[in-house]
Structure 1
Amino acid sequence: MFTIRSSRPTDGARILEIWRGAVDATHHFLSVEDRIAIGREVCGFLPQAPLTLAIDENDRPLGFMLIDKGHMEALFIDPAAFGRGIGTALVRHGLALHPGMTTDVNEQNEQAVGFYERMGFVQIDRSPHDGQGRLYPLIHLAHRS
């Protein structure tokens, strides 16, 4: 069982732990150098970002989402909690607040692409690079509201 709440400053270390575990479990396509560089960037902003968390009965974060102006910038779930509906619940929560929400997904992350398609997102565009100019193609998605 889990509930949803906003992040607090004390959640920072756990949020980074979730991010690292999720990326290591799902982003096998990243080079070691890029994984390290991205990790440094994430450590600089993610702990202070206004996140929506899924927490367990002990108030321990299991996953998080970051939405900025109707665009979901991040969705990461603790790999130990995969398959429990946490990502689905967070996305549904985001859609309730932002109908027509958009997001981007790495083309190489086929599991995530399939998840978003099952959630009702459709491809609206594609970029050959990620947001930092690295050669990781992005699929731009929007929810069919």
Structure 2
Amino acid sequence: MIRPFCDDDTEDVVRLWLEASIEAHDFIPRAYWEAAAEDMRTLYLPMSDEIVLHVDDATGSIDAFLAFADTFLAALFVAPSAQGKGLGSRMFRIASRMHPGFTLCVYRDNARAVSFYRRRGLVTLEERVEEKTGCVELVMGPSEQQA
């Protein structure tokens, strides 16, 4: 089931984000993500303009979410236990309908995510060093031909 975020979802979303972030970003120390959880809870989620959740019909648990800040896709996370089942693709399609032509940032070393976005037609628009981690991140979006 797809539904909008409500404040009561905060802890479940932060837990999903933390679990998925640690697994996807093994090139960044786990302690970084654990320390960043409070910012996710008190800064990033409240700053988001739109947050959409996927709730597993069988368990009632949140297993994916996406968040926009204006037309920037600030987050698209799928619980590790729910990955590989098409849920990320479904959330990507929802994001594309919400804000065609959106941009996002992804760490270059997160090869699985970079490949996921490239298979869906996004291209690298810019590379930059993310200040907090020192890692290279890619700004991705549609190519000029798609825009």
- Residue 25 of structure 1: which of 18, 23, 26 is its match? 23
Normalised to the residue count of structure 2, the TM-score between the two structures is: 0.86
Q: 2:32 aligns with which of 23, 34, 38?
A: 34
Q: Counterpart of 1:142?
A: 141
Greater RCO (CA < 8 Å, at least 6 residues apart): 1
Identify unmatched segments of 5+ residues in structure 1: none
Name 1:98's counterpart in structure 2: 99
Query: Structure 2 regions of 5+ residues with no counterpart?
Result: none
Shift of 1:33: 4.2
Task: After TM superposition, give the deviation of residue 12 of structure 1 in Å.
Answer: 1.3
Inter-partner Cα distance in structure 1 for 2:125 and 2:91? 22
Counterpart-to-counterpart distance in 1, 2:55 and 2:33: 26
Alignment TM-score, normalising by the size of structure 1: 0.87
Aligned counterparts of 2:109 and 2:36: Cα–Cα separation in 1: 16
- Of 83-92 and 42-51, deviating more is 42-51
Q: Which moved more, 1:71-80 or 1:58-67?
A: 58-67
Distance in 2 (alpha carbons) for counterparts of 1:70 and 1:44:
21
RMSD: 1.8
The match for 1:81 is 82
Match of 2:123 in 1: 122
CA distance in 2, matches of 1:20, 1:141: 22
Distance 1:13 1:70 in 2: 25
